[in-house]
Amino acid sequence: MASLDLYSQDKKKLSAVNLGDGWSGPIMKGAVYETALWHLACRRAGTASTKHRSEVKGSGRKIYRQKGTGNARHADRQAPIFVGGGIAGGPKPRDWSYVIPKKERRQAIRSVLIHKLRGERLRVIDKLEFAEIKTKAVKKFFEQWEQKSGLLVLDQADAKIIKSVRNLNGYKVCAASSINVADLLKYDAVFMTQAALNKIEDQWLK
């Protein structure tokens, strides 16, 4: 059975935390790739839009007669070939999201967490408490771990911590129930409270 060191908020080693059987097993690279792709696709706004020739403002009058001019045959100035005309085959607003199996998503999150564990980039904190909303205090907490970036996982949303971290470049806070592959891959290290670890094991590692 694997175990992790349990630290206090000021990086003092307290004890060890025993991990469940879900932390063992292979890393499913295919599931990680497909789930990360799905998550990024769902984030897309899909608001890109261009005007077709029927939507461009202008006269519909034929620009010159059909024959005898020596020029190519044209109808109106809204044709894509002209400057200011419509766009041929341009993007229109659309929904980029799609559905993947829940089992595949679970495998992906489990695989990334195992990868972080094996790479010694997973830290468990006894508890996190800040007296006020202060970015400086949270920055000091992260700096003691000497990590370029980090994802802080809490058992439930904490307004003080969320507002303190959002001004820090390279760090993010999320709840244990809403972790995703894209964020786990983006940040170098994962910090979580002991309560968050228990929730993650119940939800994602069974």
CA-closest candidate to residue 190, choices 83, 131, 109, 134: 109
CA-closest candidate to residue 184, choices 204, 166, 168, 160: 204
The CATH superfamily of 3-44+102-204 is: Ribosomal protein L4/L1 (3.40.1370.10)
Distances in Å between the Cα of 180 and the Cα atoms of 41, 72, 111, 140 are 13, 56, 12, 26
Tell me how far the alpha carbon of residue 167 is from its chain's centroid. Answer: 18
Whether the pTM exceeds 0.95: the reply is no
Q: What is the distance between the alpha carbons of residues 181 and 97, in angstroms, rounded to a whole number?
A: 16
Q: In the chain, which residues have pLDDT < 70?
A: 1
Asked if 161 contacts 153 with a C-beta cutoff of 8 angstroms, the reply is no
Which segments of the chain belong to CATH 3.40.1370.10? 3-44+102-204
Q: What is the pLDDT of residue 1?
A: 63
Q: DSSP H helical segments within the chain, as ranges?
A: 29-43, 102-118, 135-143, 159-165, 181-186, 194-204
Which residue reads 């007669």 in tokens?
A: 65
Asked if 165 contacts 142 with a C-beta cutoff of 8 angstroms, the reply is no
